[in-house]
Amino acid sequence: MRKIYHAFALLSLVVIASCGKKTDKDRAIALVEAKYENSNQDLNFNGSKLDSLYNISPAAYAASLKRGNELDDTLAALESQIEQLNQAESDSIGLISAKLTKERYRILDLTKTKPTFMGWKLSEVVVEGGKLDTLSFNFDKGITKIVP
């Protein structure tokens, strides 16, 4: 019986402690509410979303790597075909190859920029009242302040 009592007490403490924890979104909303507490605007956070901010999104970075690899394959195929063509066809494919090479260098520059976590963004905050506007707010990494 005593073990059951201790287990129940421990479970109760865990539940109470977890209920008191604020989520990242809750902390972001609290910062925005504090900023607007003396304002006459009413904000609705029901449909708001908290997303991470990167200098380049991880999806865009992965897509650029994939596109770069595809361009490498295409360029290799074009270069192998140039040797077997007459001068006019070779020049035409050479122009295409030059454009693809330029694109490849642009993508290589992009891939040098690794995705870096910059902070957070709370978006789709609705301003209630006359006209329905939505606002977005950027936060630092720890969601301790609103940043530009």
Read off the pLDDT of residues 30-84 as tens digits, 9 standing for 90 and up: 999 999 888 888 888 998 999 999 988 888 888 888 988 898 888 888 888 777 7
Strand partners, 125: 135
Asked if the model's pLDDT at residue 139 lies above 60, the reply is yes
* 43 vs 139 pLDDT, higher one: 139
Q: Considering the entire predicted model, what is its pTM? A: 0.56
| pLDDT for res 130 | 59
Residue whose token pair is 């977890």:
18
Nearest Cα neighbor of 48 from 143, 120, 131, 135 is 135
Give the integer Cα–Cα distance in Å for 64 and 93: 24
